[in-house]
Structure 1
Amino acid sequence: MIGKSLIAAAAVATTMAIALPATQAEAKTNIDINIGFGVGGGYYGGGYPVYSPGNISCKKGRNIVDYSGFHNVKAIDCSLPTYKYTAWKKGHKFVVSVNRYGNIYKVNKVF
């Protein structure tokens, strides 16, 4: 009796597998291309430094520091591979370093 039930269940499962349409997998992609152009001889030379696609600009680095809770952010070195800024937070002055990808990787308190 159990053997006949298993055979019947297998037959029903096979029929259902054939009868139901296969669903297609849908690839969800998001492509973001950023191209930057710079001119001049550095931040203090009248323009922003030349950077290749994938590197953030000095201005974007300043915004990243600003959005991270610092205020009165000023650029002091806008040459790659790192940008450096002075910034204030909770009454203390800091030197904040941002890498070319937009990550804050070093924060030093200025005494």
Structure 2
Amino acid sequence: MSTSHSRITSTDILYSAWLVFDDKGGLRLTRGIPQIDRYERRIKLDATLPKSLFREPELKATIKVPPNDQSTMAIDIEAATTALQGALGCDIDLKIHDSEEK
């Protein structure tokens, strides 16, 4: 395994990785920043572990992300369309679909 995303000090090992989750229950881990598709989410993971920890046979961690309050999200379609038109220099036909519609 490449150590280009880890750093070792006299007392600790500092790890850097990415976890990628998909909406079907899949999971992958990569050391470099991953490409993701629209049904995936990535989480940057940094861990600092003491070298003494490697005398133990097992580690356990839990990551819990609270759900978004979808009712408070408001997107101004007109503003988004205008911003995209200005940035891309072309006409935009922007439509918002429910995330359940795949």
User: What TM-score results when the alignment is normalised by the length of structure 2?
Assistant: 0.23
> Which structure's relative contact order is higher, taking Cα pairs within 8 Å and 6+ residues apart?
2
Flag the structure with larger Rg.
1
